[in-house]
Amino acid sequence: MAIKGAKTIAEYRNLKIMEWLENNFVLDSLTVEFMDSDGGTAKITDKNGDTAYVVYRKGKITLEDELEVDDGV
């Protein structure tokens, strides 16, 4: 999958997440749900029902068990 021609920053972030998923998982075994309109966070669920979050932040992608809540503090 080529990361060319993203029309928005959110689309670019989501494309980067999809590229990372393609390199680390068998996509047919996952359900991917993008979490926000700003892009950069996806909830993934595997065939066993296990869930994790893929987060694009500051140019890096991380796999997290839970989403951190930003309460503004």
More confident residue, 6 or 32: 32
User: Per residue in 16-37, pLDDT tens?
Assistant: 999 999 999 999 999 999 998 8
pTM above 0.85, yes or no: no
What span, in angstroms and rounded, lies between the C-alpha atoms of 28 and 47?
Answer: 9
Which sign, positive or negative, has the C-alpha torsion 61, 52, 18, 36?
A: negative
Position 68 scores a pLDDT of: 76
Instruction: Give 8's DSSP letter.
Output: S
Report, as an integer, the average pLDDT of 39-54: 96
The secondary structure of 9-67 as a DSSP string is HHHHHHHHHHHHHHHHS-GGGEEEEE--TT--EEEEEETTS-EEEEEEETTEEEEESSP
**Which tokens sit at 30?**
């996952």
